[in-house]
Amino acid sequence: MILNNFFSSKKSRYLRYASAVAGAVLLAGNAVAAAAADYPVRPVRIVVPYAPGGGTDINARHVAPKLIERWKQTVVIDNRPGGNAMIGADIVAKAAPDGHTMLLSTSSEIATVVHLFKNMAYDPVRDFEPVTLASNTPVVITAHPATNVKSIKEMVAAAGQRKLSFASVGTASPQHLAGEWLKALAKIDMTHVPFKGAGPALNDNFGGHVPIGFLSLLPVVPHAKSGRLNVLAVTSAARSPALPDVPTLKQVGYPDIQLVHWYGVFLPAKTPRAIIDKLNADMNASFNDPEVKSRLAAGGADVLANFTPAQFANFVREETEKNRKIIQAAKVRVD
């Protein structure tokens, strides 16, 4: 009888404890769901780890007004260039995981730098929650008109006769990788000049200070159409509708070089799943707004915002491995 009373009492205490834990979990889940339903509750910061004027900045500034309409909250574009885009990425990695600070990233700071830099301040896998792919664009190869270079063949010939330099965004960006890859396949030497964003790189390219550019197509299109730059080729599998007269590298004898410059949205690790899912839905809807799609398409970008967070995470893993192979093939090194 005493033992029965003991076990009955112990069982009763256990059941009360289990019930309390279950209640606490339920309340916490309800609180997260409620927070997601109200999200965002204050101004949202989109960190762009590049200088203004480049493709990442253009994506952010096109989508921000649609997010403001949807959320009735201020959306701030925070340009944080430098450190091969790792400065801006690290800011988001260390931000509060509440959905109010996010990263609009390219493949560089997430899927490429990990293969080139041993001592990074953040871990691209551990420190971020993938939200969605936003858009992509080819890398475009440009030349200042004073070079008299109007084709890839002429660029290769010129590089064999005199020392050329090429501008790109940072080190380990898709633009830089495309340049190094073409150098390796064409067996030419050109000096890489890294910039903190496509805006500064473009300024020096059409200013004639750096004769060749490997750049994102988005900021280049207006200058190509105005004649300020000669556009030699794009790195996509097919020609860009934005510049239909410009050939692909495959069409001019370099079929192995096919890569695009993609843009995606990330949150700090440990952001509640409900907030990730809500931001995913809101970002996808905003990037697919007809006005946003039209503006990005005019610059040569394809909107691809239909990924779930899990699908985007798989995409990032595949891109990370692909970039490892490109870096090995092109023998890219960090000086």
Per-residue confidence band for 330, with pLDDT thresholds at 50, 70 and 90: confident
- The average pLDDT across 243-248 equals 96
Per-residue confidence band for 238, with pLDDT thresholds at 50, 70 and 90: very high
- Please state which of the ranges 32-36, 78-82, 153-157, 266-270 shows the lowest mean pLDDT: 32-36
Angle (nearest 5°) at CA 84 between 260 and 92: 95
> Is the CB of residue 51 less than 8 Å from the CB of residue 199?
yes
- The average pLDDT across 186-215 equals 93
> Is the CB of residue 92 less than 8 Å from the CB of residue 44?
no
Task: Give me the pLDDT at residue 313, please.
Answer: 98
- Tens digit of pLDDT for each residue in 8-47? 555 566 566 656 555 554 554 445 555 578 999 999 999 9
Q: Give yes or no for residue 7 having a pLDDT over 50.
A: no
Q: Give yes or no for residue 130 having a pLDDT over 50.
A: yes
Per-residue confidence band for 3, with pLDDT thresholds at 50, 70 and 90: very low
Q: Give yes or no for residue 128 having a pLDDT over 70.
A: yes
Distance CA 235, CA 173 (A): 14
- The average pLDDT across 252-265 equals 94
Task: Give me the pLDDT at residue 90, please.
Answer: 98
- Tens digit of pLDDT for each residue in 283-300? 999 999 999 999 999 999
Kind and range of the H or E run holding 298: helix 290-298
Rounded to 5 degrees, φ, ψ at 25 are -60, -45
H helix and E strand count, the chain? 11, 10
Task: Give me the pLDDT at residue 331, please.
Answer: 86
The whole model's pTM is what?
0.86
Q: What percent of the chain has pLDDT over 70?
A: 89
- The average pLDDT across 82-106 equals 96
Per-residue confidence band for 206, with pLDDT thresholds at 50, 70 and 90: confident
Task: Give me the pLDDT at residue 121, please.
Answer: 95
> Is the CB of residue 113 less than 8 Å from the CB of residue 120?
yes
Task: Give me the pLDDT at residue 22, please.
Answer: 52
Quote the mean pLDDT of the chain: 90
